[in-house]
Amino acid sequence: MTETLLDLKDLRCPLPVLRANRTLNRLPPGARLRVLATDRAAIADFQAFCRETGHALLAWSEDSGVFSFVIRRRPDPPSADPPGDD
């Protein structure tokens, strides 16, 4: 499965989450997004963001001060069928 890379290093809270959200909204359901960030607050921010939005935080790691978050876009909610003449 391919994943989109979003380099948000040197941006401060809340910009990494806001930009990741904008990118996720453009991706198809189930797509993966890898976000690179350097703001330590991003750890808690992405955990809360995924918990609140239904996206899946698949993994996160840190290497030399760069945090990597892998997020899977949530499935679209089922659309309601228009009322019929049942």
User: Each residue of 2-50: pLDDT tens digit?
Assistant: 899 999 999 999 999 999 999 999 999 999 999 999 999 999 999 999 9
In a domain, 36, yes or no: yes
More confident residue, 37 or 86: 37
Please tell me the predicted confidence (pLDDT) of residue 27: 96
Tell me the pTM.
0.86
d(CA 16, CA 41): 10
3-state secondary structure of 37: strand
Tally of domains within the chain: 1
Catalytic residue positions, numbered: 13
- pLDDT band for position 79 (cuts 50, 70, 90): low
Which contacts (CB < 8 Å, 24+ apart) does range 18-26 have?
A: 20/46, 20/49, 20/69, 20/71, 21/49, 21/53, 24/55, 24/71, 24/73
Q: What is the CATH number of the domain that holds 62?
A: 3.30.110.40
Q: Is the pLDDT of residue 85 over 60?
A: no
